[in-house]
Structure 1
């Protein structure tokens, strides 16, 4: 029987037709068969090599399977109360989402309408750009300056239709950051005319004294929105839970666009347990990252490979070959990395820090493919 003809050109908006869908990596079992390797070290997504904190692991193990039949707290009530206690803010200053990607969409859809634009950097976390464009809004990408966000160029890019400025601090993938003095100057220059989103997904990894704490600035800047996540430092990437914080007024606006019940019960339980005793987990993770970076810096310098290792649990390496070719060759040795052409860094790979034996294995594989 002949099927009906669908007129996609009339159904699909032009801005959607112009977007290429993101293709995630295949599961490990499929990849092992594809690349004929017995095991895979995933060094591509900046996950915590230590996994969740022991308190979170215990909470996950104790989760009652019968509770899976019951809808979770629609607004993550207890978690918001705990976050309020941790940061000295009101619970209504927090909104929890199904990972950072969801809260990005909440903010953009809360403030943008047809003809509006957002501003961010050209080499940063790409989801700000993607969400804006598939929502039908313009995304302006300002070039980095010395691998960092360029505050003055971002300010110059503002026009009458600019609604939101996104700053990733520290930046993914460069690891550069704005110190508190620079961030304050930027916020003063914006002057409340636009929303400023400060994405602090990797803030817990930073040990520099001049690194700003966005949560403490919320009292002074009512147009500031801060993103945090449980995926990176806290090792809950598989449960998909992140949150934003802002003034009660701005969060009340954003809440109108959010989807209730999007954060599952197990994620909320694990996140709550994580906050009960995070000190040791953070310290141990920072030690792992510090040791891995020191080892890799020495090895990569010996190999004559330029690398950028700022803040965060990752670094970028420039290779004398295509990043996609390097990906395939490294996969044959069981090491998955992030190709960086999509981040506008051709011939670069981004590498997640892991335990020293894994880093030693990566260097051995890198030498083999070079």
Structure 2
């Protein structure tokens, strides 16, 4: 048998890149940690699930349609989004989750020797896709838990193609208001693509949060990412999208993989858009339980970062991985933050009160046992 020479075949940037290892399925985790329930507070999922109309679409799906290819370009969903945002349908691309549209954008504009710029403590996929595609990822430290626009601008050189801004930022929840975003775009002056990732925008109720989609007409180098995974509760169906000027999106379309978004995802997303009450219900729950969680964390003497979004980041006096294991034995699953370059922090998804109370009870126990 001839064994392939992987050392010769594998590019150097792949050799130095560690694979992301997802967590085991919930039933396996419950067996591993010997718990009979699991509160998922790790992935910023919406505990209310999809809007009712989207649920109905899932329930009445005709199984014979599973043998039929979906719309290759999410035709009807793009029409609906275009109507919603006053765009042409061809200004929108739909992908298999936000991860895929991130890949589309980077692949469309970057070549060997190019770089992208983003923060060091943000959604890691911008960095990952750049690195495993053979491009440089330049990372700027956050300033007061917020993207540092000045430091990002200073890192730009002739090979910079895209700057990524997560707004509001995951995991800190901080955001740029419209004035700051426009000032940043003015300084860029169309020389690079600016991606604003608004995965959590539906959770923001502040009046100064930018209408980024409306800014596309003024800034044709602006690309806006959104997802149905968070507010709309369709994370399991993997569907996200990007919007931009026609010229820019037509370039990104060349790197787009067609037929990657399944029929169920397209149809449920289409219906999810028509339920504004779902957003109100979700934000009411998030507001009430976030306030409760902040009060309890303050009582525990734990520092926390609580801004926009359906999550809070908490600093612990013990290892975040140790806290994860101890909480998992109690059926509470949180996200460790060492991978986000925030060692000893955990990120907590806001969920119904039962889950929040279980988390607080668990923190009481593990802090008493670890520090007592």
TM-score, structure 1 normalization: 0.98
Q: 1:184 is matched with which residue?
A: 182
How far residue 8 of structure 1 moved from its aligned partner, in angstroms, is 1.1
- Which whole-Å CA distance do the structure 2 matches of 1:345 and 1:90 have between them? 41
How far residue 4 of structure 1 moved from its aligned partner, in angstroms, is 3.4
Structure 1 residues 173-322: aligned runs within 5 Å:
173-276=171-274, 278-322=275-319
- Which whole-Å CA distance do the structure 1 matches of 2:286 and 2:19 have between them? 32
For structure 1, the residue ranges without an aligned partner over 5 or more in a row are none
Q: Runs of at least 4 residues of structure 1 off by over 6 A?
A: none
How far residue 150 of structure 1 moved from its aligned partner, in angstroms, is 0.3
- Which whole-Å CA distance do the structure 2 matches of 1:193 and 1:5 have between them? 47
- Which whole-Å CA distance do the structure 2 matches of 1:292 and 1:7 have between them? 55
Structure 1 residues 1-370: aligned runs within 5 Å:
3-276=1-274, 278-370=275-367
SS in 1 for 2:361: helix
- Alignment RMSD (CA, Å): 0.6
How far residue 66 of structure 1 moved from its aligned partner, in angstroms, is 0.7
Question: Residue deviations 1:81-121, cap 9 Å, x none?
Answer: 00001111110110000000000000000000000000000
How far residue 5 of structure 1 moved from its aligned partner, in angstroms, is 3.0
SS in 1 for 2:195: strand
Q: 2:370 is matched with which residue?
A: none
- Which whole-Å CA distance do the structure 2 matches of 1:213 and 1:334 have between them? 39
How many residues end up aligned between the 2 structures? 367
TM-score, structure 2 normalization: 0.98
- Which whole-Å CA distance do the structure 2 matches of 1:155 and 1:338 have between them? 31
How far residue 361 of structure 1 moved from its aligned partner, in angstroms, is 1.0
- Which whole-Å CA distance do the structure 2 matches of 1:368 and 1:6 have between them? 52
- Which whole-Å CA distance do the structure 2 matches of 1:107 and 1:334 have between them? 38
How far residue 275 of structure 1 moved from its aligned partner, in angstroms, is 1.2
- Which whole-Å CA distance do the structure 1 matches of 2:4 and 2:111 have between them? 29
- Which whole-Å CA distance do the structure 1 matches of 2:67 and 2:37 have between them? 35
